[in-house]
Chains A and B, each alone.
Chain A
Amino acid sequence: MDINTVIADLEAIVGPQHVLRSRAERAVYGYDASVFRGTELLAVVLPTTAEQISRLVVWCRDHGVPYVARGTGTGISGGAIPTHGGVVIELALMNQVLEVDLANRLAVVQPGVVNQDLKRSVQQHGYAYTYVPDPGSQVVSTIGGNVATNAGGMHCLKYGITGNHILGLEMVLPDGDIVTVGGKAVDQPGADLTGLLVGSEGTLGIVTKIIVRLLQMPEAVTTHLALFKTVDDAANTVSGIISSGLLPAAMELLDKSIMQAVDKAVHIGFPAEAGAALIIELDGFSDDMARNADRVAEVCKTHDVISFETEEGIEAGQRLWLSRRAAFGAMARLDTDVYIVDGCVPRTQLPEALRRVTAIAERYDLPIVNVAHAGDGNLHPSIPFSKRRAGDIERVLEAGREILEACVELGGSITGEHGVGMEKQNEMTLMFTPTELQVMRRIKLAHDPDDLCNPKKIFPLSMLAEAAS
């Protein structure tokens, strides 16, 4: 196909100003925040309506051209990377908050709205409500991207992941149909299609409208920083807090290696004997806060806590959150790149999972540092490395795979919140039998029989090759 014809066709759909075609522009849209790179693209298009997207995907189908929808490219699994050329459908211009409906505690947004911007625009209405999901990338990542990966964050323990907050979607299917699933009224007749489509990583269609649930801001918040001698003490404290009947808003764990890195970056002054830090956020009614904080302190004591600090209110709490928020920035000081592993285990298996991570780090001679959403059992062993050093990336990916194997063995998952993308396609076989994957793929085929919509992602490459032959 003649490239000029392609561009003319695309321009006819979205307008000439919304087709990017220079070499540099195409290169910029060929990667995301993962360690992977895409292939050469035809063009990048920036539609502004669902109808334009519908015409785009129909054009792609008619011409056998693959396409990938993309938000701000913060994904770390390569989900939005074009691996088979074609067109990138960039949703940045569809960034309107269409409606904030406080009577029904919901908002209707376009996919390109940045997570943090939605929170801001809701809070303009008086700080009483908010959109809860807060992936680490929330200042840049879009709601559309959060929906695609079913993103998590720090507050999932109490409030759930993105999917729990999505009431309905409008999606352009690969045949150009624009369908609505779910809605402002819950429990529509039929299956939970919203739940099925959330987390499908842009492989089943392109989401063009999202109904999100808003929640009341908590009346009171306290933040606690507890330091322990060992990771085991910290992890056992997490389980102890839950079994005492409390449900904290967040429980984040840092191990010694990341504490040291953070200390170098932001000078917190952790004591030398501290081997793990736990940040606990409680929220709820002001009447309960003092007693709940005491209970948390009590549980920490039974696990030989070294120090325990408390701050009241969200603002003051930021001081205690600093070490966690600075963690990924601090990792950037350790080497030129960092590879973040995203495994999940039942909460009580966290100490064992971290022990295995340490063993793997030693075996591969890699300086792995650990942060974890400990309340959810979601661990993020992070491996500083350099793409420029020969052999590094291979070793890192191999160690990452072993960590995921350990997570699955302990009853968990290969991805807690970042998705499969192109990163973990082959690791899907750790969790699913070939038949389970074949049946899961029936959903893909029901939507996209030509495999043009974010093609050849999620499923193991060997399986896809077999299906093609």
Chain B
Amino acid sequence: MTPSPTALHNRLTALFGAENAWMDEPATAGYAVASRRPAVVAAPCTAEQVTAFLELASREKLGVVPWGRGTQMHLGPPPAEYDVALSLKHLTRVLEYDSANLTLTAEAGLALREVYRLTIPGRQFLPLGYPGSEASLGGLLATNTSGVKRLRYGGMRDLLLGIRVALPEGELLRYGGRVVKNVAGYDMCKLYIGSLGAFGVVTEVTFRLAMLPEDERLLAVAFPTLAQGMAAATAVRSAALLPSTVALVSSAGWADSLPVSLQPGQAALLVHVDGSHESVQRQIAEGEAICTSHEAVEAATLSGEALLTMWERQEVWRTSSPDPALLQVRVGVPPSSVETALGLLDEAPGFCRGPVRWLADAGIGSVTARLPLDAQADDLVAQVQAWLGGIRARLDDRQGFAVVESAPEILITQLDVWGTSSGAGLLKRYKSRFDPQGALNRGRYVGGL
């Protein structure tokens, strides 16, 4: 039987000290997931304390939700059991910054912006987000978040080198390491990428860093139609250019951020280029020429602060916690099917009260879309379910998928948030061996795990 909140609070106080375990209203409200609140919030100070806590949680059959900096907690259905919010806010130490070997080891609660602060003076960075990112390193790992410059610098799976992880049954383990080439045994780090904490709590991470480019520019181009913008994006990708990002944005919702004006129905192409002065100049010029031949309406090139702002807006929009009146969907498709995916999303269904806003990474094949919900719509849940089922069926034909990233509670508790996944059977097998009690994030993960 689950102990009472007071008994639990007492036990956690004994483990972590009174200053690191709370059960008062403001504290637990701050760790709400949808409307679910934990009985107690605990913030261990070391990986060993995390381990000791998980052992207790497993023994007492507690429902635990690990927290980094809380930027992505809208992912997944609300927890089926939520006794303790396990905050990693004290696990923020940088353990080793080895600039000569371009690696960084830090505790998982550290915010990405702190990594930028540390590495920028040496002209290095961790390309998993923008310089002001509040997201924690562990959170980026657990949600499999890569940066918008993935095309050039690689994504989470390319940059993660090592982890330290605490398991529900009280083991504290290290996998991977500090070297780029390391094939000793199974690559256990990969199990934790996109794991939403289902297989353990990652307490420490080692990443490979990249050198900052000598120069960078962002080309923003408005096109009369999405089809023309997409054709230009494809042409840019096929040319002898090596852009860091090739993205398209909708006319809806982006007008204020863009250096070009967009009318309803139009789309803008964003091409981000990193490199030497010469190669950046050349790529921007070639990119502009390609866009002109695809009947661009207007083009602008950003650099310096303006570029940083635009980059940040893309990253923030993709990863921030949206307004609860919105339905946020992430669609993954092979890059050549991005246009099809956008077509599906743009057919604003009956439950929308305005145009759909989206950001499409045309180089990677990933679309984030926000649909403004009409709260008055009849039978909203059934309508959204039917719509989601419909786009999933059509994406399936193109080997794509759709995930609901955020939605009002009435929807997120009833929708099939993750969709069917061919790997779900394996995940279930691993879950039963890594977290047999289902202590971690119960009910929030793929396959209802």
Contacts and interface: CB of A to CB of B under 8 A. Distances in A.
Interface of A: 101, 103-106, 149-150, 152, 156-157, 160-161, 163-164, 177, 179-181, 183-196, 198-200, 204, 216, 219, 239, 242-243, 245, 247, 284-285, 287-288, 291, 344-348, 373, 376-378, 411-420, 424, 428, 431-433, 435-437, 439-440, 442-447, 458-459
Nearest to A431: B184
B211 to A, nearest CB: 5
Summarize B's interface: helix, strand, loop or mixed.
loop
Nearest to B158: A164
Interface of B: 98-103, 123, 144, 146, 154-158, 167, 171, 173-175, 177-195, 198-199, 211, 214, 234, 240, 242, 275-276, 278-279, 282-283, 332-336, 364-366, 399-401, 403, 418-419, 421-427, 429-430, 432-434, 445-447
Contact of B426 (A287, A412, A444, A446): A446
B429 A446 contact: yes
Given A192-B144, A440-B185, A346 B101 contact: yes
Contacts of A459: 185
Contacts of A436: 173-175
Contact of B173 (A196, A200, A433): A433
A149 B183 contact: yes
Contacts of B334: 101, 103-104, 106, 184-185
A185 B399 contact: yes
B418 A189 contact: yes
A432 B182 CA distance: 13
B100 A191 contact: no
A412 to B, nearest CB: 5
A383 to B, nearest CB: 20
A131 B444 CA distance: 37
Given A186-B366, A411-B179, A443 B430 contact: yes
Contacts of A347: 100-101
B155 to A, nearest CB: 8
B279 A284 contact: yes
Which among B182, B364, B432 has the greatest number of chain A C-beta atoms within 10 A? B182
Contact of B336 (A103, A346, A415, A447): A103
Contact of B182 (A191, A200, A413, A435): A413
Contact of B158 (A160, A189, A291): A160
Q: Which 7 A-B pairs have the closest CB atoms?
A: A195-B190, A416-B181, A185-B332, A103-B336, A413-B182, A184-B334, A446-B429
A163 B194 contact: no
Contact of A186 (B198, B364, B424, B425): B364
A181 B422 contact: yes
B193 A415 contact: no
Given A186-B365, A288-B276, A348-B101, A428 B184 contact: yes
Contact of A189 (B154, B155, B419): B419
A150 B189 CA distance: 14
Contact of A190 (B366, B399, B434, B446): B446
Contacts of B400: 185
A415 B183 contact: yes
